[in-house]
Chain A
């Protein structure tokens, strides 16, 4: 099946710094990628939908200036957490959508654990 990678798998940073997380579809092209955030023992919360070549669509309550998303190519989307604070510490998961209408499948990355000190 299709594979989605994320880099880095974990990152520790100081408060106030910015962190970039990459999401790549390795063997397919994805016009749409999704970014999720998962708190311990909780469900995945959709943060934004990333569309190649256009602006991302953010969910209500997600600050677009805080979580910058760039989907520059059909295989790469990046999430930058700007001026990170301890409350941004979380598990960030991306997924990429493959396939046409009715047969779309979402493939998930392994996640990136962010710890802001």
Chain B
């Protein structure tokens, strides 16, 4: 079974502070990990995926297989980063994705 855990439902930081949204997963094979973001009144959209090893809007995420984690980080949070963030895992069995419960990030001025 595949499972994604986001331990923090709510996270609040001040503008300019570093932010880390935690994600842990459980999967027996080699998963693909993703971060999705949903801004207020907008649809869910892909933020980044571990395969690409890219930085999007200043966010990065490193897959740590030893700790089964895929935490999302940004060194200096901006107010426009305030949104709901979902970590997701795609297994290699039929390719379905499992989503975490989401973390609501609030960046205060």
Report which A residues bind B (CB closer than 8 A). 32, 34, 42-44, 46, 49, 57, 59, 93, 95, 97, 102, 104-111
Contacts of B101 in A (CB 8 A): 42-43
**A44 with B94, Cβ < 8 A, contacts A93-B44, A106-B46, A108-B44 known:** no
Contact A44 B46 (CB under 8 A): no
Spell out B's residues near A (CB within 8 Å): 43-46, 51, 86, 94-102
Chain A nearest CB from B13 CB (Å) reads 21
In the complex, the answer to whether A43 meets B86 with C-beta atoms within 8 Å is yes
- Closest chain B CB from A109 CB (angstroms): 7
Please name 27 pairs of A and B residues whose Cβ atoms are closer than 8 Å in the assembled complex, sorted by A.
A32-B95, A34-B96, A43-B86, A43-B99, A43-B100, A43-B101, A43-B102, A44-B44, A44-B99, A46-B97, A46-B98, A49-B94, A49-B95, A57-B94, A59-B96, A93-B43, A93-B44, A95-B44, A97-B95, A102-B51, A104-B95, A106-B46, A106-B97, A108-B43, A108-B44, A110-B43, A111-B43
Interface of B is mostly: loop
- For B99, what are the chain A residues with a Cβ–Cβ distance below 8 Å? 43-44, 46
In the complex, the chain B residue whose C-beta lies closest to that of A32 is B95
Q: In whole angstroms, how far apart are the Cα atoms of A5 and B45 in the complex?
A: 13
Asked if B45 and A46 make an inter-chain contact with CB atoms under 8 angstroms apart, the answer reads no
Report the bound CA distance from A46 to B97 in whole Å: 8
- For A34, the chain B residues whose CB sits under 8 A away are 96-97
Inter-chain contact B96/A44, CB cutoff 8 Å: no
What's the nearest-Cβ distance from chain A to residue B41, in Å?
Answer: 10
In the assembled complex, the CB of B83 is this many whole angstroms from the nearest CB of chain A, namely: 14
Contact A49 B102 (CB under 8 A): no
Residues on B with beta carbons closer than 8 Å to the beta carbon of A46:
96-99
Q: Which residues of B contact A106 (CB under 8 A)?
A: 46, 97
Cα separation A42 to B100 with both chains bound (whole Å): 9
For the complex with contacts A59-B96, A104-B95, A107-B45, 16 further pairs of A-B residues with Cβ separation under 8 Å are: A32-B95, A34-B96, A43-B86, A43-B99, A43-B102, A46-B98, A46-B99, A49-B94, A49-B95, A57-B94, A95-B44, A108-B43, A108-B44, A108-B45, A110-B43, A111-B43
